Amino acid sequence: MFKKAVYFALLAGTYAQSNGTIDLADPEPGNWGGNIGKAATKHYNDFDYEVFMNDSYIPRPYRYELGSDYTVNENVMMDRQSPDTLAPPTVDFGSIENPRWHMSDSYNRLAIGGYARQQTVKDLPVAVDIAGVDMKLEPGAFRESHWHEQSEWAYMFSGRVIISAINPDGQTFMGELGPGDVWFFPSSYIHSIQALEDGAEFLLIFDSGEFDENSTFLSAEALSRIPKSVINKNFGLAKDATDFDNIPAQQLYIFRGEMPIPSFEEQKKSINNPFGMMENQTLLFPLSQMPWDEYDGGRVRIVDSSNFNAPSLDITVAQIQLDSGSLRTLHWHETAEWDFIISGTLRATIYAGNGNSRTYDFNAMDVGYIEANNLHYLECVSEEPCEFLAAFKTSKYNDFEFGQFVTATPRYTIQQHLRITDETFDAIQESVANKQIIVPNNCK
């Protein structure tokens, strides 16, 4: 009872502090400390790396003297995925709308030829700007030709596909993509995706959280809902013609195509379009061939309107790889950030203003969503390197680096705010002044 009373007293004390942290001295037997006027001490903010580095380590719902142990059965597997939610560092304060969704919790729509599982605003209410779909096609399978209100950006995980689309001028686009490549379909473009001999898996990103993979406009289904006489009249056939009598009665959605698959060249030659092919713009970006921007601790490459000449491009994506222990530095964006974790485990503390901050752990196949202007970092805390895609609803990538703010602002101003010495200012100047995006694990 005494411990709980002290704990709640400490929490109450945080409301009187402008920085939203619990001010505790290094713990001594029987003494919770005062330390008023300083940020929370190291011991209470230390991150427990053994959670990630030791498979036998079991997270507990306490951090030093804060919290208490379980009295009911714990879910160890979930706790290991979210140890900083189970035992938050004391820098966490206030409330932030949940920014994390496990794609493994998404309902998986299975089809003869593949599957699709999605994350929409119904799953992650904070993610109003972007939704995502993980889709797998078996060899020769199609995602039925379709169109939708939202724009679609895609990243190839594995295999190869042939894509085709029609623009509003009636011109055709065709492309063949492999692992690491990207396509973009603007709103309302009818398009199809066909996996080649090895099948394919890819991530789809849409420019609205309201998108629903199960509510697209499907080409074959569309004709099945039109009177036969109208179909025949539309295509210049006799009123009682039977040419379209075999239209599928149900959605194809994902389905197997006939084998063998015609080559890309054969399929392109079969197009007889008087309006021709798209020539001045493209819907394909060979990201797999793009050089990385290398940093000590990782690498970055960015696809936006500066290098991807796609019509109406409104989704920008950064592909980021972090070495174990490296940090995507403290920053914010003018638009929300939608992250998809490809590999590794990332930790992020999100500061949402007015004292509100929370720390989260993101694992492979997780989706993270960070609202516009929220300060955050992404730290690779797994032994394996981390890789993720950061998507933004904008045509041009932008970020604001906190380190650059510190070194590009008058020294007197910064020292009055952060209370750092000239020696500290000089020491950090070189490392962050050039808008460093990634820093290595340099804390010993």
Measuring CA to CA, which residue among 230, 228, 224 is closest to residue 253? 224
Q: Which of 80, 100, 117, 143 is catalytic?
A: 143
- Hey, is 418 helix, strand or coil? helix
Tokens of residue 311, six digits: 């019509």
For the chain, how big is the Rg over CA atoms in Å?
26
Chain centroid, CA 198 distance in Å: 26
Q: Which of 80, 100, 160, 191 is catalytic?
A: 191
Q: Which of 146, 160, 328, 347 is catalytic?
A: 146
Determine whether 97 is an active site residue: no
Q: Is 43 annotated as a binding residue?
A: no
Q: Which of 138, 144, 152, 401 is catalytic?
A: 152
Q: Is 102 annotated as a binding residue?
A: no
Tokens of residue 272, six digits: 């007889």
CA atoms of 46 and 42, how far apart (whole Å): 6
Virtual CA dihedral for 212, 217, 218, 223, nearest 10 degrees?
150
Q: Is 146 annotated as a binding residue?
A: yes
Amino acid at 268: K
Chain centroid, CA 432 distance in Å: 25
CA atoms of 381 and 60, how far apart (whole Å): 18
Q: Is 337 annotated as a binding residue?
A: yes
Measuring CA to CA, which residue among 189, 164, 188 is closest to residue 175? 164
Q: Which of 80, 138, 160, 213 is catalytic?
A: 213
End-to-end, the C-alpha distance of the chain in Å comes to 39
Q: Which of 80, 100, 117, 148 is catalytic?
A: 148
Determine whether 63 is an active site residue: no
Neighbours of 225 (CB within 10 A): 8
Neighbours of 435 (CB within 10 A): 14
- Hey, is 391 helix, strand or coil? strand
Partner residues linked to 140 by β-bridges: none
Determine whether 148 is an active site residue: yes
Q: Is 333 annotated as a binding residue?
A: yes
Determine whether 213 is an active site residue: yes
Q: Is 65 annotated as a binding residue?
A: no
- Per-residue buried b or exposed e for 55-81, using 16+ beta carbons within 10 Å of the residue's own CB: eeeebbbebebbeeeeeeeeeeeebbb
Partner residues linked to 346 by β-bridges: 362, 380
Tokens of residue 40, six digits: 């929370």
CA atoms of 210 and 122, how far apart (whole Å): 8
Q: Which helix (H) or strand (E) holds 355?
A: none
- Hey, is 261 helix, strand or coil? coil
For the chain, the residue count is 444
Under a CB-based contact definition with an 8 Å cutoff, are residues 407 and 433 in contact?
yes
Determine whether 102 is an active site residue: no
Residues identified as active-site: 143, 146, 148, 152, 191, 213
Q: Could you tell me which residues are annotated as the binding site?
A: 146, 148, 152, 191, 331, 333, 337, 376
Binding residue numbers for Mn(2+) = 146, 148, 152, 191, 331, 333, 337, 376
